[in-house]
Amino acid sequence: MSGEIQLSGIVIHGDGLGKTYGYPTANIDCVPPADLTDGIYAASIMLGNDRLRGLVIIGDRNRLHPGDKKVELHILNFTSDLYGKILSAELVQKIRPFMKFSTTLELIRQIEKDCREAEKILVK
């Protein structure tokens, strides 16, 4: 997969939940390819001339509009404001499918695992 799929878009406002969980995400205005499966991907992310490591999250925007996909990026060890900036992500490897969680704690624990897995993949 490495380098085969790239997503790019301007950072738009989301619901801010990632930030409250300690894992802020940048929602980008981007329609993913129809054949790209929902999931969590390790990704190389470009912000201007800076190459950063992170995750790309692709999944349904909400339960009321199934099939309406959203694209969110979490940049590892990064906390600056990105609203209005253009981000590009090169998907390197799928980590897992998109999942729903019963509790916030389950979600946070899984995000921690995803970040560790992305670090392992992206240091290669």
pLDDT at position 15: 82
pLDDT at position 34: 85
For residues 36 and 47, give the distance between their C-alpha atoms in angstroms, rounded to a whole number: 23
pLDDT at position 4: 81
Q: How many helices (H) and strands (E) does the chain have?
A: 2, 6
Model confidence pLDDT, tens digit, residues 45-89: 999 999 999 999 998 766 555 667 899 999 999 989 999 999 999
The beta strands (E) that lie in 20-123 are given as 26-28, 39-47, 50-60, 69-75, 86-96
User: pTM (2 decimals)?
Assistant: 0.90
Q: Which domains does the chain have, with CATH numbers?
A: 6-122 (2.40.30.30)
For residues 38 and 32, give the distance between their C-alpha atoms in angstroms, rounded to a whole number: 10
pLDDT at position 65: 56
Highest mean pLDDT among 1-10, 13-22, 79-88: 79-88
For residues 116 and 89, give the distance between their C-alpha atoms in angstroms, rounded to a whole number: 18
Q: What angle do CA 8, 99, 63 make, to 5 degrees?
A: 80
Percent of the chain with pLDDT over 70: 92
Model confidence pLDDT, tens digit, residues 20-35: 888 999 999 998 998 8
